[in-house]
Structure 1
Amino acid sequence: MIGITLGDVCGIGPEVVIKAINLLQGEYPIVIIGDAAAFKHFCAPWLDGMNILSIDDPSSARFESGILNVLDLKNINLDHLTQGKVCPEAGRAAIEYIKTAVSLTLSGKISGVVTAPISKEAIHKAGFSYPGHTQLLAELTSTTEYAMMFYSSKLKVILTTIHVALRDVAMMITTEMVLKTIRLADKSLRYDFGIQSPAIAVAGLNPHAGEDGAFGKEDMEIIKPAIDIAALEGVNVFGPYPPDTVFLQAVKGKYDLVVAMYHDQGLIPLKLLAFDSAVNVTVGLPIIRTSPDHGTAFDIAGKGVANPQSMIEAIRLAARIGR
Structure 2
Amino acid sequence: MNSSNAKSPRRADGEALPLLALTVGDPAGIGPEITPPALVALSGRARIVVLGPSSVRPDDVPLVSSPEAVTQAAPVGWMDTGGPGVWTPGEVQSSCGAAAVAALRQGHEWALEGRVEALVTGPVNKAALRAAGTKVEGQTELLSQWCGVTRSEMIGLAGNLRVMLATRHMPLRQAIDRITVEHVIDRLLFLDEALRYLGHPDPLLGLAGLNPHAGEGGLLGSEEGEILAPAVDVARARGLRVAGPVSPDTIFAEGVAGKYTGILALYHDQAFIPLKLMAAGRGVTFIAGLPYGRFSPMHGTAFDIVGRKGEDGLPLADPGNLVAALEAALTAVARRAE
Tell me the TM-score normalized by structure 1: 0.92
Q: Which residue of 2 aligns with 1:76?
A: 83
CA distance in 2, matches of 1:149, 1:318: 13
CA distance in 2, matches of 1:16, 1:290: 16
How many residue pairs get aligned? The number is 310
Q: Which residue of 2 aligns with 1:315?
A: 326
Does residue 57 of the first structure (1) align with residue 66 of the second (2)? yes
SS at match of 1:164: coil
1:230 deviation in Å? 1.1
Mapping of residues 29-108 of structure 1, within 5 Å:
29-40=47-58, 51-64=60-73, 68-73=76-81, 75-79=82-86, 81-108=87-114
SS at match of 2:40: helix
The aligned amino acid for 2:322 is M
CA distance in 1, matches of 2:183, 2:65: 41
Unaligned runs of 5+ in 1: 41-49
Mapping of residues 206-285 of structure 1, within 5 Å:
206-285=211-290
Q: Which residue of 1 aligns with 2:4?
A: none
1:214 deviation in Å? 2.2
CA distance in 2, matches of 1:307, 1:300: 10
The aligned amino acid for 2:84 is N
Q: Which residue of 2 aligns with 1:185?
A: 191
1:169 deviation in Å? 1.6
Q: Is this contact kept in 2: 1:38–1:76, CA < 8 A?
A: no
SS at match of 1:291: strand
Q: Which residue of 1 aligns with 2:38?
A: 20
- What CA deviation, in whole Å up to 9, does each residue of 1:50-109 have, x standing for no partner? 6222122111224446x7401112x21223x11111111000111111111111111111
Q: Percent identity?
A: 37
Q: Is this contact kept in 2: 1:51–1:68, CA < 8 A?
A: no
SS at match of 1:51: coil
Q: Is this contact kept in 1: 2:154–2:288, CA < 8 A?
A: yes
1:242 deviation in Å? 0.8
1:276 deviation in Å? 0.7
CA distance in 2, matches of 1:278, 1:246: 19
Two-structure CA RMSD over aligned residues (Å): 1.5
1:279 deviation in Å? 0.6
Q: Is this contact kept in 2: 1:6–1:32, CA < 8 A?
A: yes
Q: Which residue of 1 aligns with 2:163?
A: 157
1:26 deviation in Å? 2.8
Q: Is this contact kept in 2: 1:154–1:273, CA < 8 A?
A: no
Q: Which residue of 2 aligns with 1:203?
A: 208
- Compared with structure 1, are the counterparts of its residues 87 and 63 closer, same or farther at alpha carbon in structure 2 (3 Å cutoff)? farther
- What CA deviation, in whole Å up to 9, does each residue of 1:13-69 have, x standing for no partner? 1111111111222311100011222334xxxxxxxxx6222122111224446x740
Tell me the TM-score normalized by structure 2: 0.88
- What CA deviation, in whole Å up to 9, does each residue of 1:108-164 have, x standing for no partner? 111110000000011111111221111111111111111110112231111100101
CA distance in 1, matches of 2:279, 2:221: 31
